[in-house]
Copies of this chain bind each other. A is one copy, B any other.
Amino acid sequence: MSANRLIYLPLGGAGEIGMNCYVYGYGPEDKERLIVVDLGVTFPDMDGTPGVDLILPDITWLEERRDRIEAIFITHAHEDHIGALGHLWPKLKAPVYARRFTALLGRLKLEENGHPATPLTVVGARPEVVTAGPFKVQFVPIAHSIPESSALVIDTPAGRIVHTGDFKLDATPLVGEGWDPDAFAAIAAEAPVRALMCDSTNVFSPHPGRSESTLRDPIAELIKGAKGMVVATTFASNLARLKTLADAAQASGRSICLLGRAMKKMVTAAQEAGVLKDFPSTLAPEDAVNVPRANLMLIATGSQGERRAATAQLSRGKYLGMQLKEGDMFLFSSRTIPGNERDVLKIMNAFSEMGVDVVDESNGRYHVSGHANRPDLETVHGILKPAVLIPMHGEHRHLREHAKIAKAGGIRSEVATNGMMIDLTDGAPEVAEYIETGRMYLDGSVMIGAMDGVVRDRIRMALNGHAMVTVILDEADAPLGDAWVEIMGLPQTGKSGGSLAEKIEIELTDFLDRADTRLLRDDDKLDEAIRRVVRQVAMEEIGKKPEMTVVVSRLATE
């Protein structure tokens, strides 16, 4: 009995924003029954993950304990909470629970990845309860920027846990359920909250968050004042914002056209799930081109500057017959995520060159965040009065700040980053174990480990260029012909004024001609010697040491 423990283990989202994946366990040590909350992704970038398509949590620890997993719960349908479901479910094969709209999008992901028969159960809001081994789980509606976002109440033999998911304290979110302090007060009144796992994304925002509904008038006013065509972009999943934008368009006599696959998919799913009501009817792009510019508003994907999304395509010229021009307006109703600034600015400048007026959220009138700010977090702490607070969903600095706030409010707290298993059984939270964890990459059609060295080699080639050397040795281990060098991503011409490749070839041929047979017979030594020559010539000629591939072909004695 006293040997049973309650554990919490983040595998993604704790020490980063994105890629949420959390595990709870209850039972005897190393025999805990487990549940998983969220299977999210994060997105690659040229700096650290060039060529990668998607980044997923490394769930090896879970895979090895597959028989102990009771269920997977998805809090809401944002990519950083549900995006890995299709890719990772086959490794876990546990039943999946989500509310209707989330389940609908989850089902699409599973189908896209070839798992149409996955057990995915639609769950109603609290008081409905899912029993999963020792856990009793309820979905509690909470406001965020996508409908049916939910906190989870997780009852365990060691007490009640509240897992907030992503949330904000918005009583009037336009789409989705509003923040209801009484509902949360009731949760704490029903049973004391042993631990609160709480969203930390906006912990550094000092003022109370603003409601989605505060955008309605400013956006309507902005669009009414526009003379030409208006285009707006936001996250496709931000259905409340789509509604705000569409309503404003309609109020100013504009027809609406949705641009981008994700946008149409999201609106369709939301309408099907009944979570997006009274959305104005939309025109197909082929019909929209015939509408006068002053009567048209496009809502486009690509608010983060994604190269292939509708916004970037419009910035490069015509897209599905649409083309922006002098006098049009483009509204970024979105915040640029750190790291995407350059891509977004590039697009803004391209629009500027077309004579398009670009409006962004810098004055705070056309965008609000979907996450709880610092005072909002304090409000939630105060309502739920948890014995322990574990900050979640944030970079280390967010988690640390959130833990500080909790402690200042008299709540025990611990910063737990990915891989830190926390024992919550009783008393103070304690680190029970450090799990080896990390990231997996979906690269083209295969999964690779972040530490496999594949991406490291790509980065090295990008920084240093590449030289390839081919040497042929005859049956007697003597060089047959000259060394051959091909370079890629390196200057053609070095300091001596001639071809870099030829200069290396000459030095290599010279070296090989003078090399003794013992060296020429030793694969490893020859390889190393060739590399040394290439490096030296390259440093002299171009001041760089390229990555290298050396192929020594030995003609077999027949």
Contacts and interface: CB of A to CB of B under 8 A. Distances in A.
Contacts of A342: 45, 47-48, 338-339
Given A459-B462, A489-B457, A396 B481 contact: no
Interface residues of A, number: 70
B493 A446 contact: yes
A349 B401 CA distance: 11
A457 B206 CA distance: 45
A491 B446 contact: yes
B445 A490 contact: no
A486 B348 contact: no
A362 B448 CA distance: 38
11 contacts: A46-B462, A51-B544, A339-B342, A341-B341, A349-B397, A444-B491, A445-B543, A457-B488, A470-B553, A551-B551, A553-B553
A290 interface: no
- How many copies of this chain does one complex carry? 2
Interface string A443-467: 1111010001011011101111110
B397 A444 contact: no
By Cβ-Cβ distance, the 8 closest A-B pairs, closest first, are A445-B543, A444-B543, A462-B462, A444-B544, A458-B489, A338-B341, A50-B462, A352-B397
A206 B360 CA distance: 14
Contacts of A443: 491, 542-544
A291 interface: no
A445 B204 contact: no
A51 B465 contact: yes
B352 A396 contact: yes
Nearest to A548: B488
Contacts of A181: none
A495 interface: yes
Contacts of A470: 470, 551, 553
Chain A, interface SS category: mixed
A281 interface: no
B362 A204 contact: yes
A400 B348 CA distance: 12
A549 interface: yes
Contact of A446 (B343, B348, B461, B542): B542
A395 B544 contact: no
B465 A462 contact: no
B461 A466 contact: yes
A80 interface: no
B486 A553 contact: no
Contact of A489 (B351, B461, B484): B461
A337 B452 CA distance: 32
Interface string A328-343: 0000000000110111
A494 B51 contact: no
A353 interface: yes
Interface string A107-121: 000000000000000
A556 interface: yes
A506 interface: no
Given A47-B47, A446-B543, 19 more contacts: A15-B349, A45-B342, A46-B50, A46-B459, A47-B342, A50-B463, A338-B342, A345-B395, A353-B396, A443-B543, A443-B544, A454-B465, A457-B465, A458-B489, A466-B466, A468-B551, A472-B555, A480-B555, A486-B549
